[in-house]
């Protein structure tokens, strides 16, 4: 149950991990506290992170305010250059960043390398290209007296607070901070207390690469301490948050006083629909990826698999055969296909859902157990599939955030769409069909911020991502996220 810490990350873990970053300065938390961060595959201590609190957040916001004046006035091209340099430095340090991500989060190294770190670099590059394209409009107005020219310009908001979860730590931090900075804001980042290491390392190397001090600051710490101080701070113009619906509600309440702007990416219970005219083999592979990527700890996980009655048994048999073969292990081992859950608490929570599924009368087809042996020290759970799930069961309705697939049977398209839409959530959905008309029809009718047809879990810096209904509001990624970090000014010129 132990793994050797790779030499590439040892200096960072030994020297720098217990720091917050304010301006160019790495310091300990003002109150001096630390929080252990462990390897979820073994339980071994990786490092202690700084337990930041109100005093640290106050200083970080003040520093971000000071940096704002210079950063917003920097030419768009120069600002873009900084973001492009951060992208390059992520690629340069990819191995170290991916190793940290795997150690801290548990996900297989191939995933942290080709998904988390690679996409993070692409995101910084994409928004680095936007700084020179963020223009306004001139508008044909009809004033009551005389003539006027009206033009609009997109202005930054000020200091943005970014609060991110533990499932894609570097990537979600990147997709909040990069567009905020591109639009001319400065930022304070609060990573999850479970996975703060990659963001801390990113800031270190970004500062080395020329990110002006104070433009991006980082305060690690607990949600109710550092996070709460950030959402309560009157000097923060916007909170961009990804995490649980419960914390999202807390942020909405906290924002009422200062009327902070918000982007909220919350939970999901995404439906993945397999029609009988689909390529079944591709649908099975897609459904497995949809639920087991990142151990199912994905906000847009395809956790409700609706399968047409005619192909139901065939699809379930193929899914179960594949799921039983998934290799669990430490993310740094080459043959590992699935890692551990993030924490003992998360494992208990997910296991609670498995027990509820059995109690409610669903059929446990495979998984549901903690593997023993060499994996007993980590938070592992076997890939789990339930059939005979009814919509109203907790495993059919509630976000599990783990490797548990609920298979639901349907008879026709209208029924499938209606039941898919019956969730309070609406983050994403999948459709597997070779019928062109059906693909577009179902994509139109699904209440979800993203619909994937004959693919799943695809993310691109250019494509907006976010929720309908209780999955939140605002969008990450794409032009839309960039605009969310701006406010529009109309300038009237009397002529």
Distance between CA atoms of residues 121 and 265, nearest Å: 21
Torsion of Cα atoms, 283 then 420 then 469 then 196, to 10°: -40
Q: Which stretch binds ligand NAD (CB under 6 A): 134-142, 243-251, 320-328, 384-392?
A: 243-251
Distance between CA atoms of residues 393 and 381, nearest Å: 21
Q: How far is the CB of 244 from ligand NAD (least distance, A)?
A: 3
Write the Ramachandran bin of 39: left for phi over 0, alpha for psi from -120 to 50, otherwise beta.
beta
Distance between CA atoms of residues 232 and 53, nearest Å: 12
**What's 328's DSSP letter?**
B
Q: Is 352 in the site for ligand NAD (CB under 6 A)?
A: no
Write the Ramachandran bin of 66: left for phi over 0, alpha for psi from -120 to 50, otherwise beta.
alpha
Which tokens go with 420? 């898919």
Q: Is 247 in the site for ligand NAD (CB under 6 A)?
A: yes
Q: How far is the CB of 28 from ligand NAD (least distance, A)?
A: 19
Question: Of the two residues 243 and 357, which places its CB atom closer to ligand NAD in the complex?
Answer: 243
- Provide the strand spans (E) within 39-193: 45-50, 138-139, 148-156, 159-163, 186-190
Question: Of the two residues 134 and 231, which places its CB atom closer to ligand NAD in the complex?
Answer: 231
Q: Which stretch binds ligand NAD (CB under 6 A): 45-53, 208-216, 264-272, 316-324?
A: 264-272
Question: Of the two residues 108 and 243, which places its CB atom closer to ligand NAD in the complex?
Answer: 243
What Cα–Cα distance (Å) separates residue 365 from each residue in 155, 323, 384, 407, 408?
54, 10, 7, 10, 13
Where in 423-442 is the site for ligand NAD (CB under 6 A)? 427
3-state secondary structure of 117: helix
Q: How far is the CB of 30 from ligand NAD (least distance, A)?
A: 18
Q: How far is the CB of 24 from ligand NAD (least distance, A)?
A: 24
Of 37, 11, 471, which is closest to residue 248 (Cα–Cα)?
471
Question: Of the two residues 122 and 450, which places its CB atom closer to ligand NAD in the complex?
Answer: 450
Q: Is the dihedral of CA 276, 279, 285, 290 positive or negative?
A: negative
Considering only 266, 290, 315, 323, the residue that binds ligand NAD (CB under 6 A) is: 266
Q: How far is the CB of 195 from ligand NAD (least distance, A)?
A: 9
**Is 26 an active-site residue?**
no
Torsion of Cα atoms, 110 then 297 then 57 then 226, to 10°: -130
Question: Of the two residues 268 and 302, which places its CB atom closer to ligand NAD in the complex?
Answer: 268
For the chain, the first-to-last Cα distance in angstroms comes to: 76
Q: How far is the CB of 281 from ligand NAD (least distance, A)?
A: 29
Question: Of the two residues 39 and 399, which places its CB atom closer to ligand NAD in the complex?
Answer: 399
Considering only 242, 263, 406, 433, the residue that binds ligand NAD (CB under 6 A) is: 242
Question: Of the two residues 365 and 451, which places its CB atom closer to ligand NAD in the complex?
Answer: 451
Containing 394, the helix (H) or strand (E) segment is helix 394-397
Considering only 54, 79, 107, 190, the residue that binds ligand NAD (CB under 6 A) is: 190
Considering only 176, 250, 269, 330, the residue that binds ligand NAD (CB under 6 A) is: 250
Tell me, by CB under 6 A, how many residues bind ligand NAD. 29
Q: Annotated catalytic residue: which of 265, 382, 399, 447? A: 265
Torsion of Cα atoms, 346 then 352 then 357 then 359, to 10°: 180
- Provide the strand spans (E) within 381-438: 384-387, 404-410, 425-426, 428-432
Per-residue binder mask for ligand NAD (CB under 6 A), 399-418, x = binder: x-x-----------------
Q: Is 224 in the site for ligand NAD (CB under 6 A)?
A: yes
Q: Is 223 in the site for ligand NAD (CB under 6 A)?
A: yes
Question: Of the two residues 365 and 404, which places its CB atom closer to ligand NAD in the complex?
Answer: 404
Q: Is the dihedral of CA 156, 198, 458, 288 positive or negative?
A: negative
How, if at all, do strands 428-432 and 271-274 pair? parallel
Q: Is 116 in the site for ligand NAD (CB under 6 A)?
A: no
Q: Is 193 in the site for ligand NAD (CB under 6 A)?
A: yes
Considering only 50, 163, 365, 404, the residue that binds ligand NAD (CB under 6 A) is: 163
Q: Which stretch binds ligand NAD (CB under 6 A): 28-36, 38-46, 159-167, 309-317?
A: 159-167
Considering only 214, 243, 302, 331, the residue that binds ligand NAD (CB under 6 A) is: 243
**Buried b / exposed e along 246-271 (16+ C-beta atoms within 10 A):** ebbebbbebbeeeebbbbbbbbbbbb
Per-residue binder mask for ligand NAD (CB under 6 A), 455-474, x = binder: ------------x---xx--
Q: Is 188 in the site for ligand NAD (CB under 6 A)?
A: no
Q: Is 478 in the site for ligand NAD (CB under 6 A)?
A: no
**Which residues of the chain form contacts with ligand NAD (CB under 6 A)?**
163-167, 190, 192-193, 223-224, 227-228, 231, 242-244, 247, 250, 265-268, 299, 399, 401, 427, 467, 471-472
Indicate which residues carry an active-site annotation: 265
């Amino acid at each position: 149950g132990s793994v050797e810490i790779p030499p590439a990350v040892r200096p960072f873990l030994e020297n720098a991990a217990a720091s917050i970053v304010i301006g160019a300065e790495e310091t300990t938390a003002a109150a001096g506290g630390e929080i252990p961060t462990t390897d979820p595959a073994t339980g071994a201590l990786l490092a202690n992170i700084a337990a930041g609190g109100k005093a640290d957040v106050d200083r970080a916001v003040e520093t971000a305010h000071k940096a704002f004046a210079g950063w917003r006035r920097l030419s768009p091209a120069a600002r873009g250059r900084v973001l492009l340099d951060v992208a390059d430095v992520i690629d340069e340090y990819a191995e170290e960043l991916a190793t940290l991500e795997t150690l801290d989060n548990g996900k297989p190294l191939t995933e942290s390398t080709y998904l988390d770190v690679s996409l993070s670099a692409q995101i910084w590059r994409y928004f680095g290209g936007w700084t020179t394209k963020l223009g306004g409009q001139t508008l044909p107005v009809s004033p009551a007296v005389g003539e006027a020219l009206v033009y609009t310009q997109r202005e930054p908001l000020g200091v943005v607070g970014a609060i991110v979860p533990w499932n894609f730590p570097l990537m979600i931090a990147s997709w909040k901070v990069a567009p905020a900075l591109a639009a001319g804001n400065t930022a304070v980042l609060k990573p999850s207390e479970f996975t703060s290491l990659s963001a801390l390392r990113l800031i270190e190397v970004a500062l080395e690469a020329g990110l002006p001090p104070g433009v991006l600051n980082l305060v690690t710490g607990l949600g109710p301490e550092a996070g709460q101080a950030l959402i309560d701070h009157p000097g923060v113009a916007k909170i961009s948050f990804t995490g649980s619906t419960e914390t999202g509600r807390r942020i909405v309440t906290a924002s009422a006083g200062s009327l902070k702007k918000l982007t909220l990416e919350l939970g999901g219970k995404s439906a993945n629909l397999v029609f009988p005219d689909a390529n079944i083999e591709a649908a099975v592979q897609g459904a497995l990826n949809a639920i087991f990527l990142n151990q199912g700890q994905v906000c847009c996980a395809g956790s409700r698999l609706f399968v047409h009655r005619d192909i139901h048994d065939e699809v379930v048999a193929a899914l179960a055969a594949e799921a039983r073969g998934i290799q669990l292990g430490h993310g740094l081992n080459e043959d590992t296909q699935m890692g551990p859950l993030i924490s003992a608490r998360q494992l208990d929570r997910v296991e609670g859902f498995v027990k509820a599924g059995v109690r409610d009368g669903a059929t446990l087809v495979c998984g549901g157990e903690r593997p023993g042996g060499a994996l007993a020290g980590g938070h592992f759970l076997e890939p789990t599939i339930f059939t005979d799930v009814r919509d109203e069961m907790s495993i059919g309705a509630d976000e599990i955030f783990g490797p548990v697939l609920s298979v639901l049977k349907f008879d026709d398209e209208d029924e499938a769409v209606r039941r898919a839409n019956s969730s309070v959530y609406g983050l994403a959905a999948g459709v597997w069909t070779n019928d062109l008309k059906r693909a577009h029809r179902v994509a139109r009718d699904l209440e979800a911020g993203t619909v994937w047809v004959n693919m799943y879990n695809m993310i691109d810096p250019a494509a907006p991502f976010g929720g309908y209904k209780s999955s939140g509001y605002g969008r990450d990624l794409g032009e839309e996220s960039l605009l969310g970090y701006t406010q529009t000014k109309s300038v009237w010129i009397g002529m």
